[in-house]
Amino acid sequence: MVKGQVIFASFWKRVFAYFLDFFLLTFVILSPLIDPFESKFGENISEAFNFTFGWDYFFLTVVIGFLILLYWSVMECWFGQSIGKMFFGISVQSTNKKQISFIQAIIRNITKLSLILLFLDTFYMFIKKKHQRFFEVLSETQVVVEVVQ
Amino acid sequence: MMTKAVKALLFLFCLWLFSFSLNFVFFNENINFPGNEEIVVIPVQGMITLDGGSSFLTSSTSGKVIAQRIKEANEDPFVKGIVLDINSPGGTVLGSKVVVDELKKVDKPVVAVISEYGTSGAYWVASQADYIVADDLSIVGSISVLGSYLEYGGLLDDYNVSYQRLVTGEYKDISSPYKEMTSEEEALIMDRLQGIHDYLVVDVAEGRKMSVEDIQELADGLFYLGQDGINNGLVDYIGVKEFAINLTKELAGVSGGEVSEYTEERGFFDDFFKKYLSYSFYYIGVGIGSTLFSVDAQGLNIEV
């Protein structure tokens, strides 16, 4: 390995890290909000759509979206990696190999608010045969194998 | 100096704390914010039976499900009032009673709106609401009990088929459709039907805050139009669902608020038969048609 060489994190490591973070978010951070969500909108999706979406739904959606974005952005900006990425030994850096800014972190994680957007964002990697999602290209960030210093 | 992992976990805990605080402040059952209020519309549509279900010819709505929805609405701190959207000819005694029993426990404003018809067991349900709203041409009332059934004894005789009576108790086959009912058996059944009738009359009178005598006078099985209902006390207001929702909001002291409505999934045959039967007297107080569709193994099916 040449000094200063960038080793991109493998796709599957990134996927597993994402799912680990996803479970942490769902069952730890968002767990206090699951009960009110279910009680307001039903436990299954068909029941949920029988309700008129109103203020409660909007508020909960905004809060959950905010927490999701906050988790990934702060973790990657402060520590260079989320807990999932720590577990799989990968980290995020700027394309100039520096620590990413908060704005960069928000831009690269914005698609995590929607699975469809994240899928499309990730699909870009396969089309362009790159190691970066579309929003990683936009934010000038990349996910690399963690460098032990 | 804290390691990166410890800092990360600390941050995770902070986020959880934030989430927990939000839940405590905004979704605490004891704290209500303006705008959180909700009026729930619960449909009571079609024939009411205890468990509901459908067959090729017809379907019924479950009294248990309606009662459960009423219970949930009553326990939900966001729900400030309940509207019962009634379009039903009634149903089985217990199917209606479970709904009535649950309504008696409700401590929130309840308004029943009768659209096309709210008769018999469905009117019993409506009577437990604070107010009844109906269209001036809605069909209401028909406070009585039905236990009629088809008897095939004569038909079997015509075809030289005999009913072999094998019972260990004298009245075990009291309502069997395969034999002619004796006058003694008829008296016994009528006595029980009268018992249910009296129970129904007292309950409706209590619900409507009218005297038992007044309801007794109206409880001859006859149906009334909404406008007649205003005159005889069976209906409080002439109006439609929107009126009922606004009335509920007014009673609950809710100015804006969401209106949440349960919807019923109906199959092709439900719609087909609903349209077909709309033109018959089936809808008037559960007629012979419903008995045809719901005769059980014993023949007799008591409906209100």
Strands A90-94 and B223-225: unpaired
By Cβ distance, the residue of A50, A74, A79 closest to B4 is A79
Of residues B50, B74, B54, the one with CA closest to residue B64: B50
Q: Collect all residues of chain B within an 8 Å Cβ-Cβ radius of residue A30.
A: 19
Taking the Cβ of residue B75 and every Cβ of chain A, the question of whether any pair is shorter than 8 Å is answered with no
**pLDDT of the residue at B182:** 87
Q: Per this entry, what is the length of chain A?
A: 149
Residues B84-118 have pLDDT tens digits of 999 999 988 999 999 999 999 999 999 999 999 99
Contact B239, B113 (CB under 8 A): yes
Residue contact A52–B35, C-beta within 8 A: no
Q: Collect all residues of chain A within an 8 Å Cβ-Cβ radius of residue B36.
A: 55-56
Q: Calculate Rg over the CA atoms of chain B.
A: 25
By Cβ distance, the residue of A52, A79, A82 closest to B258 is A52
Of B57-66, B114-123, B190-199, the poorest mean pLDDT is in: B57-66
Residue contact A70–B15, C-beta within 8 A: yes
Of residues A115, A102, A33, A25, the one with CA closest to residue A71: A25
Supply the pTM of this predicted model. Answer: 0.57
Alpha-carbon distance B227 to nearest alpha carbon in chain A (angstroms): 33
Residue contact B12–A29, C-beta within 8 A: yes
Side-chain half-sphere CA neighbours of A77 within 13 A:
17
Residue B172 DSSP label: T
By Cβ distance, the residue of A24, A29, A50 closest to B19 is A29
Q: What is the ipTM of this complex?
A: 0.74
Of residues B94, B92, B104, the one with CA closest to residue B203: B104
Report d(CA B140, CA B235) in Å as an integer: 8
Q: Which residue of A has its CA nearest to B263?
A: A50
Residue contact B258–A55, C-beta within 8 A: yes
Contact B136, B227 (CB under 8 A): yes
Residues B213-228 have pLDDT tens digits of 999 999 998 999 999 9
